[in-house]
Structure 1
Amino acid sequence: MPPKTTVRHFEDNLTDLDAIVTQLESNQLSLEDALKAFEKGVKLSQECQRVLTQAEQKVQILLDKQDGEHLEPFDPETNS
């Protein structure tokens, strides 16, 4: 069950991050509150990135076990 907990935690972090962005875009926070929200957003973003990196590593390991297939770097400019 740990993967579901991680996924749920990731989704909760994304929801919280979206709420912070909405607050910051509203321009209704004091400077102090905006800085606190921004700091929390940075921490949430870093945590989300960590979870995504771990997921990518797991996918890479699984693909490496299958006939030597490898992930190709994704380039949004060339891959529609």
Structure 2
Amino acid sequence: MQAVADEGVRLANLCSTRMGRAQQMCKERADAVMAIDSFLRNTSDMDRKIKDLNRQVTGFHLSCNKDAHSIMTMTP
């Protein structure tokens, strides 16, 4: 009877350990899914920032072209 009880305790501990590992794995995966969800929800913010950067680069490009044209017309 004692051996059966000891085996039951051992199996219960083993089950508890495995359940803890399964819970940790589920938590990590849920955290990853939540991070992906948050990232995808913020794409409009990123899109706005990218468009703003594109406008700035376009303005800088036009300014550089004007400067280059001015320099070329100034040289004899």
How does the TM-score come out when normalised to structure 1?
0.47
Name the structure with the higher helix share: 2
RCO higher in structure (CA 8 A, sep ≥6): 1
Give TM-score, length-normalised by structure 2. Answer: 0.50
